[in-house]
Structure 1
Amino acid sequence: MFTKKLMLLRFHSHFLTPPYFFPKLLLSSTSTLSFRRITTACSAAVISSHSLSSTSYGPSLQKGTLPLKPHQNPILNSAINPPQQAQTPENGDEIPFEEDHFTRVFEIAAIRVPSERCFELEGRIRGHLLNWPRVSNIARVPGDEIDEEVQGLLMEDKGLGTEEENEVEKAVSRRIYGKAEGDGEELSGVLYRDKLAKEFNARGFVKFRNLAKISRPNRKKKRRKEGQSDKESRGEEGEKWKGRRRSVMVEVIEECEGEGENVGGDLSGLLGDEFKGRKWRGSTRLLLLDETYAGKKFDELPEAVKAAFMEGSSEATKSSCELVRCNLTLSYDYWSNDEVLEALLPKDMIIPSAFETVGHIAHLNLKEEHLPYKKVIAKVVLDKNKPKIQTVVNKIEAISNDFRTMELEVLAGNHSLVTILSENGLRFQIDLAKVYWNSRLSTERQRLISCFTSDDVLCDVFSGVGPIAISAAKKVKRVYANDLNPYAVDYLERNTVLNKLERKIKVFNMDGRRFIEAIFSSETHPVTQVVMNLPNNAVEFLDAFRGIFSYKTRERKLTLPMIHVYGFSKAEDPEFDFHERIRVALEEAAVAVEMRRVRAVAPGKWMLCASFVLPEKVAFSKSNVDCK
């Protein structure tokens, strides 16, 4: 047996900086290369695949080989005629890099075993299998599955599956268990448990006698058209997957051990050219071995792997196990988002792997160093998160307007920013170009709502499209929701109808101070909870609560509301800084505040939530400010 040598075209671990995204060949910087130098570069690139795999474990873009095109030598063609480095178009309409550059071929060893034994052997030698992420240890053999009628004929030709052998199996079963299956009498409890233990496989016990079907329902079978056969029905289902690209492919390139004699003759005339010169072994599977076993002979394998060849119930089963050489191809779809961007971006650049998901939109917040690569980053994010993500956008500037809307640039995908998303069992329709939404505050919103009771009346001063107001409406008695942005109010009304909560929510479109005065001066339901989720300047609206009950007498029993106000702080002690701003806005020194850090929005900048009961002295103050 020989160790197959592969030609490896070595690529630099990182691509050129913009505007070029093509790999560099590691050649001399001298422009004029002699044929001797080309030959030296080629011989240096000819290495065995298993020697390269010793550098690091697992799949990597720095390992493996590129797929060879027929009648083409990639080393000589690249050395003599290096590829022209294409410039990335400024409009970004074209693809900024070639996906084929990320295809890698790895030479590995595998054990070819009968399909009925693959799960059993996988459990026994799992530690010696490939165990790569997103790659199954069991692979199908192309062209190995044949119709049952043809398989029955081939098995009869081998002398297997005859009536005499079936009678022998039944006789042995009667000797072991006392009864054979189909005799009409059930086995005893002891023999039945022993039978179950021997039939255990990867899918669980087979045919439990008294087990109710409570684990999971059966999949709904698709109705076939009248007169349609099973094969035609399966063919229509397979049409849906024709356009889907396979990220992992396994191909047998050499059969090394255990092939034996070609019993059964040439089957190419009966089964096709795929079986030319081969014997029929029945349905088989490939157990992919660890990458360190590539190129090794049978005698060099561990004892646990050798035992898989030697054990079997019959000589036919033993001869059907063999050691084969395979090519494992990993395409662009296999590699993760970070692995592709690590190869495309410069070496010292931070990989922008985190983004916010809003429905079908991926919202990036790229730094200045990432902007020259924004189209490349967006394409990779879109490719690796389809079909959930259909649009990739980037925030151009910080939020600076009164409506809290963001300037967004569509980098990849469709240009529709209207989407529907789900949060805590509720559905929200939004237009990300006209309203504000932050999915990262979902946990904080849920925590806040857990503080409310069924007797509360909520006043949401800056509600937006209603993530807090609509979620709270399912729990509290009544909700008053307000926002200054007319587009946000429009989507708020849509979302109340979408979630069938329009009867419990009253929507307003006015300034925050006017809204606070209007709600507390009305003789409707007394407000017990106030939410002010405008972190940029919500504290400035607290002065609207000064003297909010000045027109009422103190003898009357009034409920002082619990106020939840959000804000940002860049101070060394953000809690103290935020507390001071609250006391200044209320003009009251004695304010008991429960402070909580929500999240860090930037280095040294915290978002905080302060919860406190409105002081009675502030509520009955006579110095109420005029509403603006």
Structure 2
Amino acid sequence: MKPSNTLDALPPINRGMVERLDKDAFRKTIEVLAAKVAPQRTGSILRAAPLQSCILDLPRVPSAARAPDGDRLVLLRVQQEDDLPRQAKDFLDEEKLSLVVHKLELTYDYWTANDIISSVLPEELVEEAPSGFAAVGHIAHLNLRDQYLPYKHTIGQIILDKVRGIKTVVNKLDVIQNKFRVFDMELIAGEPDYIVEHHETECTFLFDFTKVYWNSRLHSEHGRIIELFKPEDIIADVFAGVGPFAIPAGRKGCGVFANDLNPESFKYLKLNVTKNNVDELVRPSCEDGKDFIRAIITRALDCPMPPAAPPMSKTQKRKALQQTKHSQSCGQSRGSSSPSAPTRTRVTQFVMNLPDTAILFLGAFRGLLSPVNVGGRDLSGLYAEMPMVHCYCFTRELEPEKAAADIRQRVEHELGHSLGDEVSYYHVRSVAPSKEMYCISFRLPREVAFEA
């Protein structure tokens, strides 16, 4: 039987803190009963079965405290002796333990961000109060709805105070309306420092969050696609951004042609390629996506990727990286795989992470491998197996079957040909009500690629 009463450890209600967060207003004293014990007996009393339903279990509050005379206090989750279960009372009597009143002093620092936010917002806004945000390096990025905008600075300050590592809190101002997928934002708390160093998939990414596109909610999706790649693959990343697909793929051993139209993304992509020691395997470019698709087959033929390295353990990879750094410091050129191994010239995977419009770029695959597009060369033998295409998109269809049908119809319309059997649909996330993000992965139809 558990104690009948429950301690009220919620923060004081301070609704309407719009302009200024008064941290001193968040103080609360809770009186609880405590069993006074000798220091050496504290552990055994805390573990005693008759007391298990009564031991204080408030988050981040120890179950034992020091008494003024040096003894220990085993804190109980009741305020009156009558609230103790009979077996607990009998145990305390048998052990000749006296009960005293202990005061718990809770302050602003004790409660979580969600606790404080719920206590300052008007009651009608509490139920759907913003409880999450995207963390990008030291930046917390919120997307507040209109009804919460009057409280944006208070919400921002609470997050700044409560979340370790956050130094800057911003709020998205509008939907993405430019060709570079960059949204306007406003500073609502902290430092105006937007140069981020973000860590994902064992890689480091540096970028200006105000000038490039980055979505931390896609980290699982980045990892999912990377798992599909084989080290011997050549990847064509059409909308590479600052490299969340390209750089981990390079670290895996893949050859990667990574492209982005945004000059700022291109700048940081190049920097991140060097920062992650994949210069030899990841080749950045800055051009229109359709032009990139049309040119990439010839580019891979004329400038082959180095041979695929044999699989290595983590220890071997670490030693190879150390050897590479040593060679660079000594002014030596980088080594690569065995010179007897063949270079790589066949693009095996395309990644198209521009969900708003990527499907509209699929027309560029028509005639991609035709002699007219590749300088008169016959690539039918080299491309006996066609590349896979991983294309991101949005759909308004909420049911998976209808979403797949909608996406397939749009893809086939742009390709001018039906897809084969090797097609899959992966639901990435719900972006908004009636807006779902998917990735369709399909084998490029041979008839499309060799279209005259």
- Scaled to the shorter chain, the TM-score interval is 0.7 to 0.9
What pairs up with 1:176-575 in 2 under 5 angstroms? Answer: 283-291=70-78, 294-296=79-81, 302-308=86-92, 310-311=94-95, 321-349=97-125, 350-385=128-163, 387-522=164-299, 523=301, 524=304, 525-551=345-371, 552-553=377-378, 556-558=381-383, 559-572=385-398, 573-575=402-404
- The structure whose RCO (Cα within 8 Å, separation 6+) is larger is 1
Aligned residue type for 2:63: N
Post-superposition Cα deviations, 1:495-530, rounded to whole Å, max 9, x if no partner, equal 111111111111111111111122112323210011
The structure that has the greater radius of gyration is 1
Residue 451 (structure 1) shift:
0.8
Post-superposition Cα deviations, 1:254-296, rounded to whole Å, max 9, x if no partner, equal xxxxxxxxxxxxxxxxxxxxxxxxxxxxx421101122xx243
1:580 maps to which residue?
409
Give, in whole Å, the separation in 2 of the partners of 1:582 and 1:458.
Answer: 20
SS state at 1:448 partner: helix
Give, in whole Å, the separation in 1 of the partners of 2:151 and 2:18.
Answer: 10
Question: 2:46 aligned with 1:122, yes or no?
Answer: yes
Moved over 4 A (4+): 53-58, 85-89
1:216 maps to which residue?
none
Q: What's the C-alpha RMSD, in Å, of the aligned pairs?
A: 2.4
Aligned residue type for 1:457: I
Compared CA separation, residues 431 and 557, structure 1 to 2 (3 A): closer
Q: TM-score, normalised by structure 2?
A: 0.82
Maintained 8 Å contact 1:107/1:326: yes
1:100 maps to which residue?
24
Give, in whole Å, the separation in 1 of the partners of 2:114 and 2:17.
Answer: 23
Compared CA separation, residues 513 and 117, structure 1 to 2 (3 A): same
Maintained 8 Å contact 2:18/2:151: no
Aligned residue type for 1:107: E
Maintained 8 Å contact 2:12/2:26: no
Residue 305 (structure 1) shift:
4.4
Aligned residue type for 2:64: I
Post-superposition Cα deviations, 1:121-170, rounded to whole Å, max 9, x if no partner, equal 0000232222222211111235x5xxxxxxxxxxxxxxxxxxxxxxxxxx
Compared CA separation, residues 396 and 55, structure 1 to 2 (3 A): farther
2:424 maps to which residue?
594
Maintained 8 Å contact 1:121/1:308: no
Give, in whole Å, the separation in 2 of the partners of 1:431 and 1:289.
Answer: 51
SS state at 2:35 partner: strand
Identity of aligned residues (%): 38
Maintained 8 Å contact 2:18/2:150: no
Post-superposition Cα deviations, 1:60-119, rounded to whole Å, max 9, x if no partner, equal 2369xx9xxxxxxxxxxxxxxxxxx99955xxxxxx131122211111111121111101
SS state at 1:471 partner: helix
Give, in whole Å, the separation in 2 of the partners of 1:381 and 1:493.
Answer: 33
Post-superposition Cα deviations, 1:211-253, rounded to whole Å, max 9, x if no partner, equal xxxxxxxxxxxxxxxxxxxxxxxxxxxxxxxxxxxxxxxxxxx
SS state at 2:57 partner: coil
1:604 maps to which residue?
434
Give, in whole Å, the separation in 2 of the partners of 1:485 and 1:554.
Answer: 32
Aligned residue type for 1:304: A
Residue 342 (structure 1) shift:
1.5
Structure 2 alignment gaps of length 5 or more: 305-344, 372-376
Aligned residue type for 1:561: P
Give, in whole Å, the separation in 2 of the partners of 1:395 and 1:140.
Answer: 48
Q: TM-score, normalised by structure 1?
A: 0.60
Question: 2:76 aligned with 1:138, yes or no?
Answer: no
Compared CA separation, residues 345 and 539, structure 1 to 2 (3 A): same
